[in-house]
Amino acid sequence: MYFKNEFWALIPARSKSKGLKHKNIKKIAGKHLIGHSLITAGKCKQIKKVIFSSDSKKYIQIAKKYKCDEFHLRSKKNSTDNASEYSVFREYINQKLKKKLPLPLYFVHFRPTAPIRNMKTINKAIKYFKKNKKKITCLRTASVVNDPPYRTSRIINGKLCALTKKDFDLDKWFRPRHFFPKTYKCNCIIDIYKTKNVLKGYLFGNKVIPLITDDFKIDIDDKIDFKIAENYLKLKT
């Protein structure tokens, strides 16, 4: 087993999206959605290889139009709705090990549904990871959640109930934001994993460090998300 002290980008794109059919290859601001992540990853000087992973030969053919070093066609097992992100990374790594080919020490996960990224943020994330790599398991970019999840509700027996515990007294929960602790959401800009941890059975682990960003972020799931991202990208060009 040979590891290179490098960062490789892996961009996974499944063809069977539910919310917006074939969203990963839809044209957005003149490029296929997957193209935005492929181009950005390819421009990052700290990333030594860009890998595109898909269950679709058609998607791989489209990815070849953009800067990409390697293509991974997934097995049927990793082409279903239930296939996890971990299983995709693990399958790619296992194929490399079987062929006795080198692997990087680190993987940078670019989700194609988040096409809007700032190169400064990517470089900052990798630099921050390098600085802390001995004491962490993973790095994830994250953003402050504007509306605290504490103010959201569940429905139990037809009545609204607090999210965090079984409490129907919503007066104590629906309060101004400053009453609650700050909460954060991973924003899909990038995640950075250790290959050795993937071999141990996980991506994130229990020592995940966040890089808090205020970048414009969107994770495309439906037509409205797609339109918002498209309008933003058009304004940038």
pLDDT in tens, 179-232: 888 999 999 999 999 999 999 999 999 999 999 999 988 999 999 999 999 999
Same domain flag for 170 and 55: no
Structural contact between residues 67 and 39, judged by C-beta atoms closer than 8 angstroms: yes
- Which runs of consecutive H residues, i.e. helices, occur in 57-210? 57-63, 85-98, 119-132, 195-200
Judged on CB neighbours under 10 Å (0-12, 13-18, 19+), 131 is exposed
Angle between helices 33-43 and 119-132 (to 10 degrees): 60
Same domain flag for 73 and 173: no
**Sequential DSSP letters for 10-47:** EEEE-S--SSSTTGGGSEETTEEHHHHHHHHHHH-TTE
Same domain flag for 208 and 222: yes
pLDDT of residue 79: 82
Number of separate domains in the chain = 2
Does 172 or 49 have the greater pLDDT score? 49
Across the range 18-22, mean pLDDT stands at 81
Same domain flag for 59 and 166: no
pLDDT of residue 107: 98
Same domain flag for 211 and 153: no
Same domain flag for 44 and 70: yes
List pLDDT tens digits, range 25-48. 999 999 999 999 999 999 999 999
Same domain flag for 93 and 172: no
Same domain flag for 139 and 109: yes
Range of the domain at 156: 149-179
> H or E stretch including 211?
strand 208-212
Same domain flag for 83 and 157: no
pLDDT surpassing 90 at residue 234: no
Q: What share of the chain is helix, strand, coil (3-state, %, to 5)?
A: 35, 25, 35
pLDDT surpassing 90 at residue 237: no
Same domain flag for 102 and 175: no
Same domain flag for 203 and 160: no
Give residues with Cβ within 8 angstroms of 110, minimum separation 6.
9, 10, 11, 37, 40, 41, 117, 190
List pLDDT tens digits, range 88-146. 999 999 999 999 999 999 999 999 999 999 999 999 999 999 999 999 999 999 999 98
Cα dihedral across residues 186, 191, 196, 199: positive or negative: positive
Q: Which of 88-92, 158-162, 174-178, 182-186 has the lowest mean pLDDT?
A: 174-178
Same domain flag for 116 and 81: yes
